[in-house]
Amino acid sequence: MCSPGEAPPGPAPAGDLPPEWETDDERMAFLFSAFKQSREVNSTEWDSKMAFWVGLVLARGRRRGAVRTCLRELQNGFERRGSVPLGLGTVLRELLRRGKLQRESDFMASVDSSWISWGVGVFILKPLKWTLSSVLGDSKIPEEEEVLIYVELLQEKAEEVYRLYQSSALSSHPVVALSELRSLCAGLCPDERTFYLLLLQLQKEKRVTILEQNGEKIVKFARGLHAKVSPMNDVDIGVYQLMQSEQLLSQKVESLSQEAEKCKEDARSACRAGKKQLALRCLKSKRRTERRIEELHSKLDAVQGILDRIYASQTDQMVFNAYQAGVGALKLSMKDVTVERAENLVDQIQEV
């Protein structure tokens, strides 16, 4: 079923339609009629009708900001007084031939992406469609609900994702969690399927590479606007794990700080109530928590120091050197990561 998702389908606003749409019934009757089987019968009329609908179809996609569409969605969008254009299928076939549209299944098949397999809930493709498309090519009129992609719009939006990432705090290092990137792009990609399509386009352009590490999806970006991304390596994964460790330690410090403040308030309440023993216990608990916070701060500073040197690196080789100097050949599995594991990593770093 066609469900582009970027915006609810419906009739095009009057301002997006040409003046004759409401004023020239004779002209519109011609435009809404089916194309002649052969263009040679009357090439002038055929070309005039094709130019009209090609412009409207492309403009509708751009107005909606939707990279995906289908024949049924367009028929609904261009309904006029209860009638739908009979030649839209021919128009879409022509746009496929010109490369302005592409079948979604063909696009995904053209990108070598093993990570598509884990988007089972998002990408449900029928191999039969791939086979039909590859055999018949673009000579086949799309089915009513077959999803098509606006090629130029997909490329433009993929570029927006890349620039959005480059201008964000996430770009301090080229490796980022897929979930963080999805949150960053929420305004640009209103649905998950579009987000994945844009990532596929960036991968096709060799500007990102994607890896699944112990259940976590990691995206690596090319360093420059015109650079090609290098393959994900152990150092990239190690740096990413350090970044995760920094977050875990920071969260633990924040949690313990709140706990220490609570102990302080409990001690005051106990004093006011004349419960001196309880107040003393609360103060001891506060001191133990504060000592724990100091220990974690020390470990957090060590991780942040390594990451600062890595973030300041301008090339992959500099990142490698900074990482090697900081952590050597240490590994931190993303599986069952805990604050204690993060602390153990820091202890090992200090020993190195």
pLDDT of residue 247: 83
Quick one: DSSP state of residue 227? P
Query: Using alpha carbons only, what angle is made at residue 64 by residues 62 and 69, rounded to the nearest 5 degrees?
Result: 85
User: Domain limits of the chain?
Assistant: 19-98, 150-221, 234-351
pTM: 0.74
Residue-wise pLDDT tens digits, 193-238: 899 899 999 999 999 988 877 777 889 998 776 788 888 877 788 7
pLDDT at 124 over 60: no
Q: If you average pLDDT over residues 18-22, what whole number do you get?
A: 87
pLDDT of residue 7: 44
What region, left, alpha or beta, does residue 215 occupy, with left being phi > 0 and alpha being psi -120 to 50 degrees? left
CATH of domain 150-221: 1.10.10.1420
pLDDT grade, residue 150 (50/70/90)?
A: very high
pLDDT at 6 over 80: no
pLDDT at 311 over 50: yes
DSSP H/E element including 71: helix 71-77
Q: If you average pLDDT over residues 145-173, what whole number do you get?
A: 92
pLDDT of residue 325: 67
pLDDT of residue 197: 92
* Weakest-pLDDT range from 8-22, 66-80, 89-103, 228-242: 8-22
Q: What are phi and psi of 147, to 5 degrees?
A: -80, 130
pLDDT at 89 over 70: yes
Residue-wise pLDDT tens digits, 327-344: 653 444 334 445 666 666
* Weakest-pLDDT range from 177-181, 272-276, 331-335: 331-335
Q: If you average pLDDT over residues 104-108, what whole number do you get?
A: 87
| Average pLDDT value over all residues in the chain | 80
pLDDT of residue 43: 86
Q: If you average pLDDT over residues 166-179, what whole number do you get?
A: 86
Q: How far is CA 15 from CA 18, 60, 65, 71, in A?
A: 8, 11, 16, 22
Q: How many CA atoms lie less than 13 Å away from 88 in the CB half-sphere?
A: 22
